[in-house]
Structures are given as structure tokens and as C-alpha cells.
Structure 1
Amino acid sequence: MIIMFEVLSQLESWHWLSLGILLLLGEVLGAGGFLLGIGIGALCVALMMTILPGLSWQAQLMWFGILSIVSTLVYWKRFRAINQATDQPLLNNRAARLVGRKVELLEAVVNGKGKVQIEDALWTVLSDEDIDSGKAVEIVGVDGMSLKVRPL
């Protein structure tokens, strides 16, 4: 136990710098943001140790914990949404990508339901009015995996 305290009392800024770089390299390998805040916390403590070289090991560990938590929270609150932004938000929502498309009814809309074929898939369509088979409709919305249509 005494050896551990001796090792901790000899912590220098390059130790924190090495830890921070190691954690950020781990983040590059795909930790999904988990190691980012901890790595930034270690780098901040390295900077503090450069400015205040006499900082006790207890204060170093305290600041490491605080700065790691704060930088992780900032990442999750501010920057995570930016990282998940996409120029194709409907990429995995096949039904929503069909909105605005004009197609012919394969089966008439009766009592609010009918069918269309788009490429290799049959889709259930919903409409407030009955529409005959073969008529052109426009897809105006999505309800789950059903398409809302209006006659043209």
C-alpha cells in the first residue's frame, strides 16, 4: 500500500500526457465517445501540472475525475448530436423516402386500404376516399409501414 502512495506522489505532467494520448488513441479505435472525456481529462491535468508542478497527487486525481466527468457530459450534451447528423436522414426509412412519388394502384382502395407495387415490393396504401385500381396516386405520407396516398 505504501508503494502505491509513493508511485502516486511521483506523478508528473508527462504521465498524464501519456495517459491522455493513450486514451485518445483508444477512442480512435472505436470506443464511441466513451474514452474521449477521460482522455481530455487526463490532458487537462497534464496542462495543470505544467502550470502548477507542485500539485499533490490527491488533487491531481480529484481534478482528473472532475474534468473527465465534465468533458464527457459536454460531449454527450453538445457534440454527440453533431456527430450523428447525416445528409441522408431517411436512408434507413424506406417508406419515408417514397413520399412525393407518383404510382398506379395495383388494387383499388376500398374502405381506406389498397395496394401498390413499387419496384419489387407491395405496399399497403391508406386513403380517406375510395380509388379505383389502375388510377394514379401520389404518396403524401407514411403511417408505420403503410403509405398514405391521394388521387391525382
Structure 2
Amino acid sequence: MIASVFLGFFCSIIALVGMKCTKIGGSDESKARIVCFAGVIFILSGLCSLSSCSLYAHRVTSEFFDPMYIAQKYELGAALFIGWAGSLLCILGGLVFCFSISDSFTSSSSHPAYAYRGTASATHTPSNTRGQPKLMSQRPPPESSSSFRVHHFDKNAYV
């Protein structure tokens, strides 16, 4: 358990260095490697905690069911279950660290950059009044002379 605590502490410091918002650690690729290394240490910390809780639970149950054991007998308590849950969360956290680096390597090379072009209903067209643009959504009211009215909907209109 002491090894698990020390590994978890050093893993948290290494993970802080590997975060994208820190200026320590270099480029995004080197930070991704640092975070992956922290994830492996975090998984190792969880395995140390899991093994120590399991060894103690084995000892408690073997002493409890031994008829020749005369000293005070203990039962499995909440601390063991919390230890098992915490160690599983450490292992899952380390796996998340290891799988989070795939975004760093693929985002710069395979995903194209998308430019914001504005919404379809608010695109600007030039206007001749005082240099202000006229919005396409500001159309004049339809003529009331015809009995059949044609409604122009943009692609963002709700039907």
C-alpha cells in the first residue's frame, strides 16, 4: 500500500507536467508521451493497491475459517471494499490516460481544419444604404395581391 501511495503521488505530478495547459514538457507529442507514462504508473499503482487489499482479505478469511486459530478473528470490512474500488478506479484512470494520447497524434494530421463560415440565415449581402450590410433574413413582406403565396425557407427553418 505504501508503494501504491508513492506511485500515485509521483504519477499525479507527472500527469500535471503532461497536461496541455502547462508550459513544461515541450511539444504536444512529448506531452502525450509523458501522459502515457503517467498512465502506466497509475495502472501500476492500482495493481499494487489491488494486490495488497486482496492479500489482506485472503489472510482475514483464512484466519476466520481456521478452527485452530484461537486469537481474535476479523471480518471483511468497508475499508477493504473501499480499497478494491479505489484500486479499480486507479486502473481505469490509468487506462484513460493511455487512451487519451490517441487524440494528440491524430488531431494534427488526419482531421482537416474547418473554417467558420457563419450561419445560412445571417449571411451578409452588400447594401446601398449607409454602407451597412443587409441581412438575407430581412426580406420584404410578400405581396398581398396574389392569393397564392410562396414562402422561402432557409435550410435552418423549422417545418
Normalising by structure 2, report the TM-score.
0.31
Larger radius of gyration between Structure 1 and Structure 2: 2
Larger proportion of helix? 2
Normalising by structure 1, report the TM-score.
0.33
Highest RCO, 1 vs 2 (Cα 8 Å, sep ≥ 6): 2
